[in-house]
Amino acid sequence: MKIACQTITFGDEWHRNDIFGIVQAVASAGYQGIETGFLRLDKNKTQEYKKCLQENNLEQAGIHIGGNLIDPDFIKNQFDSVAELIELAKFLDCKNIFLSAAALNSEEEYKFAAENLNKLGKIIHESGLVFSYHNHAGEINNNCLGIYIYADYTDPEYLSFIPDVGWVTVGGADPAEVLKRLGKRVSNLHFKEFTQDNNFTELGKGRVNFNGVYEIIKNINGWIIAEQDVSSIGAEASVAENYRYIKSLAD
């Protein structure tokens, strides 16, 4: 697997003022790829952004979108904007679209959301891209109710999964067991770390069983993506440390 960095670690201000500096910092840390939120990519600077990726030998591993899968207005907006999302992904030679959404309150809501995931995934699949769901802790609660409904009520052609093994741990499940249950539908992985009291920290400094996870996914042809929401030691230091940790698992 190749190693990428989710740029969330750099925060809102850095994204607004110097996304090219973020690209350079990610490349300097050793990563092969980068994942960025769709709303954080300036649509007026896509040429410059792509050139910056090329100059720094980085691939666009994925583009992340947020979703509300049961609100009618948000659903309409999601479908109205999917063509622009696909166009940008193809321009950046990026094959992966990752979506995360809020936890829902019932089995019925999750099934309704699964219908919308399937419809959106069909559009993305037919464009030649891969659509994958990124979980938080909420979909893992109640014996993985949400994520398993999404798996059981969507077409494997239209929806893959990029499990966040940190949030799986916080949600009370064993990441290795979730990966086994999702099987071949796992396209890529988000590696996120939590302390015992559920604060974000660098990979290998908390309670997530990355060694067990890596043994299961080491032969998957996809990305391991380091994703640390908040850094207390500085974004550049955190992303560099996270890269070194993932690399150490493979060595």
The pLDDT confidence band at residue 172, using thresholds 50, 70 and 90, is: very high
pLDDT tens-digit map of 88-97: 999 999 999 9
Residue type at 13 in one-letter notation? E
Question: What pLDDT, on the 0 to 100 scale, is given for residue 218?
Answer: 87
pLDDT tens-digit map of 122-151: 999 999 999 999 999 999 999 999 999 999
Question: What pLDDT, on the 0 to 100 scale, is given for residue 250?
Answer: 84
Flag whether pLDDT at 251 surpasses 90: no
- In sequence order, which ranges of the chain are alpha helices (DSSP H)? 11-17, 19-29, 46-55, 72-91, 107-126, 141-152, 165-170, 175-182, 210-217, 235-250
pLDDT tens-digit map of 45-76: 999 999 999 999 999 999 999 988 999 999 99
The pLDDT confidence band at residue 107, using thresholds 50, 70 and 90, is: very high
Beta bridge partners of 225: 4, 190
Question: What pLDDT, on the 0 to 100 scale, is given for residue 235?
Answer: 98
Distance CA 110, CA 69 (A): 9
59 in Cβ contact with 89 (< 8 Å): no
Flag whether pLDDT at 35 surpasses 90: yes
Half-sphere exposure of 185 (CA within 13 A, CB side): 23
CATH 3.40.50.720 fits 2-250, yes or no: no
**Where exactly are the structural domains of the chain?**
2-250
